[in-house]
């Protein structure tokens, strides 16, 4: 009698895409000034660390961004689109109410038949999607998964609120996750606390052909900051314990790219050297579910992250959701 080998999942390729319209803080300040709202590069950088973000053109859908990132990830993995048997897209800004962005992306890739669905956990979405894909591969429900984080947050920003509109940008990141005999995704953990729905939300919906409520992003910045720092530390320590690792084993930390102060605080609490923190927030802004795979792909293509490195991914977002994944790349 033979014993089946354990089944794991590993990332075999990464890809990302940023729309070409690069918006500086000065550009944004000029736009706000037209409505009598004052802000400046110095004000934004001091509070967030953000200097640039990218905005998609009006005729570009989130599935368009996801398509380019996905093609790049598939190419990096040397994987034909037809070999993909699972597509999960993490997004809060879908093309339409339904069907899912994943189904639209599937059609744009020219494939059919595999499971395809969206995950909505806002800025934690990519970690949620990666965790689901990892679980499905481990149980044999899939062998090659395309996991995408893609957003067009510029569509839901209130450009009369300088405390929120300066934070966000658009983009997409993707990974190909494949079955493996050796561990790649070492441990994951997901959480949510719906008591904090109101501190980060878009309180509008469609009814009878009309938008009811407010369709623009609302955020209680201090409340989000306070919660984020605490939960990111606790979930990081939890996945390390699950994997039998310690903070000393982390080669790179890729947190959700929300605010440089939150990111630096998390690294400090984990006693990680500042050089181990991957930060793209200064150039991308907060791209919600896209921020982690964007930062991962950029780091891989730059040669910063290489095979064998241990990487901690973690995110926190509206819901209130949070999660982490520890991976051997």
Same domain, 93 and 147: yes
Q: Is residue 260 part of a domain?
A: yes
Tens of pLDDT, residues 66-110 = 999 999 999 999 999 999 999 999 999 999 999 999 999 999 999
pLDDT of residue 6: 79
Confirm if 323 and 128 have CB atoms less than 8 A apart: yes
| Across 226-243, average pLDDT | 96
The answer, yes or no, to whether residue 176 has pLDDT greater than 60, is yes
Report the DSSP pairing between strands 86-90 and 144-152. Answer: parallel
168 with 197, same domain: the answer is no
Q: Percentage of residues in the chain with pLDDT exceeding 70?
A: 98
pLDDT of residue 5: 65
Whether 23 and 170 share a structural domain: yes
Asked if pLDDT for residue 2 goes beyond 90, the answer is no
DSSP string, 95-160: SSSSS-HHHHHHHHTT--SSEEEEE--GGGHHHHHHHHHHHHHHTTS-SEEEEEEEEEGGGG--TT
Residues pairing with 118 in the sheet: 89
CA distance 329 to 14: 11
Query: Is residue 1 classed exposed, middle or buried when 0-12, 13-18 and 19+ CB atoms within 10 A define those classes?
Result: exposed
145, 79: one domain: yes
Same domain, 24 and 153: yes
pLDDT category at 165 given cuts 50, 70, 90 is very high
Q: Which residue range forms the structural domain that includes residue 36? A: 8-182
| Domain identity same for 156 and 76 | yes
Query: For residue 210, what are the β-bridge partners?
Result: 207
**What digits encode the pLDDT tens for the residues 112-143?**
999 999 999 999 999 999 999 999 999 999 99
User: Which structure tokens are listed for 265?
Assistant: 């605080």
Q: Which stretches of the chain are assigned E, i.e. beta strand?
A: 8-17, 21-24, 52-55, 86-90, 115-119, 144-152, 170-180, 185-192, 200-201, 204-207, 210-213, 218-219, 252-255, 310-317, 321-328
Residue 310 shares a structural domain with residue 264: yes
pLDDT tops 60 at residue 1: no
Give the residue numbers annotated as catalytic, written as ranges. Answer: 123, 256, 286
Assess whether 148 and 262 both reside in one domain. Answer: no
| In a shared domain, residues 177 and 102 | yes
- Six-digit token string for 13: 């390729």
Are 28 and 110 within one domain? yes
In a domain, residue 265? The reply is yes
pTM summary value: 0.97
CATH number at residue 280: 3.40.47.10
Q: Which of 132, 166, 182 is the last residue of a domain?
A: 182
Q: From the centroid of its chain, how far is CA 238?
A: 20
| Span 184-223, pLDDT tens digits | 999 999 999 999 999 999 999 999 999 999 999 999 999 9
Classify residue 277: in a domain, yes or no: yes
pLDDT band at 4 (very low <50, low <70, confident <90, very high): low
- How many structural domains compose the chain? 2
**C-alpha separations of 175 from 119, 170, 224 in Å:** 15, 18, 28
Residue 315 belongs to some domain of the structure: yes
Same domain, 165 and 79: yes
């Amino acid at each position: 009698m033979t014993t089946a080998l354990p089944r794991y999942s590993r990332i075999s390729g990464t890809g990302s895409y940023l729309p070409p319209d690069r918006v500086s803080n000065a550009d944004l300040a000029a736009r706000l000034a037209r409505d009598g709202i004052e802000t400046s590069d110095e004000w934004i950088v001091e509070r967030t660390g953000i200097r640039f973000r990218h905005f998609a053109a009006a005729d570009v859908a989130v599935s368009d961004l996801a398509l380019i990132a996905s093609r790049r990830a598939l190419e990096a993995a040397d994987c034909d689109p037809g070999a993909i048997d699972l597509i999960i897209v993490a997004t809060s800004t879908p093309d339409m109410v339904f069907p899912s962005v994943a189904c639209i992306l599937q059609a744009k890739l020219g494939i059919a038949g595999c499971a395809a669905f969206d995950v909505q956990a806002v800025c934690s979405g990519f970690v949620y999607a990666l965790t689901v894909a990892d679980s499905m591969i481990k149980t044999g429900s899939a062998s090659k998964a395309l996991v995408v984080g893609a957003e067009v947050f510029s569509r839901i920003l209130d450009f009369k609120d300088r405390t929120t509109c300066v934070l966000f940008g658009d983009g997409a990141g993707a990974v190909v996750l494949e079955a493996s005999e050796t561990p790649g995704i070492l441990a994951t953990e997901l959480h949510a606390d719906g008591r904090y729905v109101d501190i980060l939300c878009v309180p509008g919906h469609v009814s009878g052909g009309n938008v009811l409520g407010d369709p623009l992003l609302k955020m209680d910045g201090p409340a989000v900051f306070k919660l984020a720092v605490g939960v990111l530390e606790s979930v990081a320590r939890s996945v390390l314990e699950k994997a039998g690792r310690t903070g000393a084993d982390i080669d790179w930390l890729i947190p959700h790219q929300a605010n440089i102060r939150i990111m630096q605080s998390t690294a400090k609490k984990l006693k990680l050297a500042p050089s181990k923190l991957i930060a793209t927030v200064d150039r991308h802004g907060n791209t919600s579910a896209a921020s982690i795979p964007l930062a991962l792909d950029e780091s891989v293509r730059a040669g910063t992250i290489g095979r064998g490195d241990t990487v901690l991914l973690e995110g926190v977002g509206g819901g209130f959701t949070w999660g982490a994944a520890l991976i051997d790349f």
